Amino acid sequence: MVATIRLSVPGTLRYRPIAVRAVAEAARLVSGSTPRDAKNPSIDPLAHDIRHPFDTAVVSAFMEIFNNIAIHAYQRKGDGSIEIEITPTKDAIVIEVKDDGRPFDLDNVVDLPAELDEESLPEGGMGIHIAKTMLDEMTYEPGPPNMWRLSKRLSAPQVAVGRS
């Protein structure tokens, strides 16, 4: 059975932690990771504990896409919602993120410098690069609605180990 989790949040950064938390927990369903201090009641329940490489990739990519939508699509005004559909399976996750804001020009994103040194350290434009590199596949279709589709498979060693 394939179960899909649907979440709709207002398109502002205020609701980002809720969306990130949902994605993190869905990633854990695939990776089998457990929070470090799951049994420690004194731990801040809002703290994010992302260690498994699969969780890391999925959460890192999603955070950047959420930022992108709130800032670029909705121009920090939040006059619209972000529709999130998360489909975790045994060995993969697919996340579709839709918004009704301004379309994003993905082709206009510049690559990071090939050689990175103190001088060329970037102070911006890293988000899409992070998302793309962390995922197996990332597609974007301008809308309305605009739709990001993020896919990540649990790689063989991660499946074999089950958890880190």
Partner 1 sequence: MPEPFDVQRTSDETKVAIRGSLDINSAPDLSDAIDKIVATRPPKVAVDLSSLDLIDSSGVAALVKLYKGVRANGGAITISGARDQPLAIFKLLRMDKVFNL
The residues that touch partner 1, with contacts defined as CB under 8 A, are 13, 16-17, 44, 46-51, 53, 55-57, 59-60, 63-64, 67, 70-71, 112, 116-118, 121-124, 126-127, 129-130, 133-134
Closest contact distance (angstroms) between CB of 4 and partner 1 is 25
Q: How many residues does the chain have?
A: 164
CB atoms within 10 A of CB 37: 12
DSSP one-letter string for 47-69: -----SHHHHHHHHHHHHHHHHI
| Widest pairwise Cα distance in the chain | 51
- 55 neighbors 28 (Cβ within 8 angstroms): yes
Closest contact distance (angstroms) between CB of 122 and partner 1 is 7
CA–CA separation, 100 and 73 (whole Å): 8
Which of 113/144 has CB closer to partner 1? 113
Closest contact distance (angstroms) between CB of 101 and partner 1 is 16
Which of 2/45 has CB closer to partner 1? 45
Which of 1/62 has CB closer to partner 1? 62
Which of 4/164 has CB closer to partner 1? 164
Closest contact distance (angstroms) between CB of 132 and partner 1 is 10
Q: CA 68, 73, 77, 80 torsion: positive or negative?
A: negative
Which of 40/90 has CB closer to partner 1? 40
Closest contact distance (angstroms) between CB of 46 and partner 1 is 7
CA–CA separation, 109 and 129 (whole Å): 8
